Amino acid sequence: MQRLTRLFFTLVLLLSVGFSGQVFADTFEENVSQALQNLNLSKGDVGLLVLTNAPYIKVDGANALPWLNQAQEKTGCTVGKGNLLFFQRAQSHPFRLMLFRKTDGQAVIISREKSNWVTDTVNIGPDTISKAAFWEKIDTYHAGRDMFTLASLANVWAKGGPYDFLKSAELHNHICPGLTSGYLMAHYILDHFPLKDGERYTVVACPVWCKEDAFQVVMDCTPGKKGLVVKPLSDDQKKQISVANPAGMVLVWDAEQKRGRGAALSFSFDPLRALSAKDTPKAAMVLAALDHLDQPDRFVSTSAEFNLDEKRYNAITRAGSNPWAVVGLMKTQ
């Protein structure tokens, strides 16, 4: 009986390994080779993308760069060729590395789970990700919630999305309509408020949403360098703003002359939503917006302009103030 039980469990183990295509003893390198074979791609193929969080996470307390190096050697994907992309995650997040085939969105995702390499073989092409049913079952994959990150970035890459958009997505770790709004606003600012000698930008993130991560990448406006001042508003405060679709402000400041100018900006999600059918999943909605990323004026507008002296600049940017009240754009002051 004991023998029979053992035989039964051995059989179950063999079958499960067979069905999932995983052999737990595989090294990482072997998994990458297997993935290439599986996708019918070879080293240096231009239709191959590698997307990974390897530069950011830690595995057993050590950085994951040796595996990233192995993947580069095996696939020929490099940053310079534009087919090696990263996404930021907390250091404790599981390791992920995806090989993605441009032509149809077929992908193999290699993850580290309890000291083993495990894989998901899955199609995440545009047709798949536009169906709500796909998103309902993502927890059944090892990659789980990272599926949104992987699918949104890979499809934008496949469709030839701008590189600075992909770089913004690396920091934000996914592409969503919110990040897209920030990307469009950053380019609107660069187009409409070009800097003169001695001037610099301060973006006022108020109200705050996903958009803020695009300013940091596209404009190098970061909180640490005081280029991005982040001020969340309560729902009541938002309702009191007197312009439609308030999205933030840009200040163009000359620190030596102690003067500058500013603009309150609005962002309308309506034209963005109009590009896809109602209830389109977010990852697919972003793809529909791709053809319009070079037309920020369709979505962004200047709702007010004002001059800045030192007192006003400080009043807007320092703690304890509501910038919209400072520039007189609240219904009740």
What is the binding site for Zn ion (CB under 5 A)? Answer: 176, 178-179, 210
Closer residue to Zn ion (CB): 180 or 317 = 180
Closer residue to Zn ion (CB): 102 or 174 = 174
Closer residue to Zn ion (CB): 76 or 182 = 182
Output the residue with the shortest Cβ distance to Zn ion: 210
Least distance (Å) from Zn ion to the CB of residue 210?
A: 3
Least distance (Å) from Zn ion to the CB of residue 30?
A: 35
Closer residue to Zn ion (CB): 118 or 184 = 184
25-to-94, 101, 239, 254 alpha-carbon distances in Å: 19, 26, 58, 61
Least distance (Å) from Zn ion to the CB of residue 180?
A: 9
Separation of CA 28 from chain center: 26
Least distance (Å) from Zn ion to the CB of residue 146?
A: 14
Least distance (Å) from Zn ion to the CB of residue 282?
A: 9
Least distance (Å) from Zn ion to the CB of residue 178?
A: 4
Closer residue to Zn ion (CB): 106 or 149 = 149
Closer residue to Zn ion (CB): 74 or 172 = 172
The helix-helix angle for 177-192 and 282-289 (nearest 10°) equals 30
Instruction: Confirm if 96 and 53 have CB atoms less than 8 A apart.
Output: yes
